[in-house]
Amino acid sequence: MIDYLIIGSGLAGISFSEMALNDNKSILVLDNNSQNSSKIAGGLYNPVILKRFSEVWKAQEQLLLMNDFYAVLEKKLETKFDFKKPILRKFFSVEEQNNWFTASDKINLAPFLSTKLLYNKYPGIESPYGYGEVLKTGYVDTAILLSKYKEYLTQNTLYREESFDYDALQFSSNGIRYKDIEARHIIFAEGFGLHSNPFFNHLPLDGTKGELFIIKAPELNLDIIVNTSVFILPLGNDLFKVGATYNWKDKTDLPTEEGKTELVDRIKEIISCDFEIVEHFAGVRPTVKDRRPLVGTHIIRKSVHILNGLGTRGVMLGPSMAKALYDFVESGVPLDKEIDIRRFLPKNER
C-alpha cells in the first residue's frame, strides 16, 4: 500500500508530490495530459495586482515558501527553471504615477513597490511617464519544470500516463483501491478536469481561458519583464512570451482569432517596434469565483481530497496550498477557512 495516489501532474499535483516525498511518503502520480494550463502558463510570480495596485492574498507567506520550495527542487532536478527578474509597470499618465506612490505608502504593499520612478530607455518602448518597479518578482519556466519533474517521476517508477476511471475507484477502511493500486489517500489535482469528477464537480470551479504568444522582436531589447495590460517576458534570442487574455465563456484550449486580435492590439499599446508572432497557444485556467483555491477533504469519503483552483497564480500558490493540504491530512492542522472547500456547504453543515 502506498500513502498517496495523486491524479494530475500540473503545478498542484507536483507541489503535493514533493511535500509527500520530502516527508518520506510513498506516492504514485497518474495523468493523461489532457490539461495544459500549467504547461503554457506565463509562470510569473508577482505579489501585487497591478491593475488596481493591491496586494495578492497572503503574498509574503506564499513567496517565502515558494522560494525555498523551488530552490530545493532545482537542485534535486539539476535544472534551472526559477528566474528572478524585475517586473516594471509602465505608466501611461501622471495619475497612474500618483496611484503607485499612494499604494507604496501602505504597510502591506511597501515591501513590494519601489518608491523610485524609473526612466530606463528600452529600444522599442516609448515610456514618457516612466515605470514603477515591483520587488521580489520573477518567473518559473513551467514547461521545463513540469517536463523535468515528470521525467524524475518516470525514472523512479512513480508515474503512469493514463486517464483516471472514476468508476474503478473503491473504498476500504484503510483508504482506497484503484485497479492494482492500494493507497491511504487519493489527491485530485486535475485542474479544469474537475468537471468530470463525481466527488467534487459540485464545487464552483470556473474555467478562465487565456491566450498567449511567443513573438520575435529583434528591435525590442529587454532584460526585464514589462507588465501593463499584458506582460512581456524576455526569453532570449529576440523572443518574448506575451500574455494573457481572459475569456470566461470559451472553455476550449484552442487559439482564436478574437484572442489574437486582442493580444496584438495590447502589444501595440506598449511597444512601438515591429514584431512577428512565432507561436499562439491557449489554455483554460482553473479559477474560482471567490478567487481562492479549492482545498480539502470529501465530506463523506475521508480518504478523498482535492487540491485545485490555483487560477492565474499557480506558481505562487502551488507550494503553500500543497503544504496546507498535506499538513491537514497528516497532522490535522486546520485549513484556512478561505481555502477550505467546506466554505461552500450550508452554514449548519460546516
CATH architecture for segment(s) 2-41+143-204+290-349: 3-Layer(bba) Sandwich (3.50)
Q: Which amino acid is residue 317, in one-letter code? A: L
The answer, yes or no, to whether residue 40 has pLDDT greater than 80, is no
Distance (Å, whole) CA 296 – CA 290: 16
Q: How far apart (Å, rounded) are the C-alpha atoms in residues 349 and 121?
A: 58
String of DSSP letters for 199-216: TTTTS-EEEEEEEEEEEE
> 157-213 pLDDT, tens per residue?
999 999 999 999 999 999 999 999 999 999 999 999 999 999 999 999 988 999 999
CA-based R_g, the chain, Å:
21
How far apart are alpha carbons 325 and 339 in whole angstroms? 10
The pLDDT assigned to 41 comes to 81
Mean pLDDT of 136-149: 95
Q: What is the model's pLDDT at position 129?
A: 95
User: What phi and psi, each to the nearest 5 degrees, are found at residue 153?
Assistant: -60, -45
Give the per-residue pLDDT at 350.
Answer: 66
Residue 112 grid cell: 513590494
The whole-angstrom separation of Cα 295 and Cα 335 is 8
Q: What one-character DSSP code corresponds to residue 311? A: G
Write the Ramachandran bin of 45: left for phi over 0, alpha for psi from -120 to 50, otherwise beta: beta
Residue reference for cell 519544470: 145
| pLDDT tens-place string over residues 81-109 | 999 999 999 999 999 999 999 999 999 99
pLDDT band for position 37 (cuts 50, 70, 90): confident
Residue in the structure block whose three cell numbers are 463523506: 300
Give the separation between CA 131 and CA 120, rounded to whole angstroms.
8
With bands split at pLDDT 50, 70 and 90, how would you rate the model's confidence at 30? very high
Residues 6 or more apart whose Cβ sits within 8 Å of residue 172: 182
Across all residues in the chain, what is the average pLDDT?
Answer: 94
Query: What are the tens digits of pLDDT across the range 243-293?
Result: 999 999 999 989 999 999 999 999 999 999 999 999 999 999 999 989 999
Q: Phi and psi of 147, rounded to 5°?
A: -65, -45
Confidence grade of residue 51 (pLDDT, cut at 50, 70, 90): confident
Q: Is the distance from CB of 137 to CB of 47 less than 8 angstroms?
A: yes
Q: List for the chain the helix, strand, coil content (%; round to 5).
A: 30, 30, 40
List Cα–Cα distances, 319 to 168, 273, 302, in angstroms: 30, 38, 23
**First CA to last CA across the chain, in angstroms?**
32
Q: At what angle do helices 59-77 and 314-331 cross, to 10 degrees?
A: 90
- Cα distance between residue 241 and residue 231, in whole Å: 8
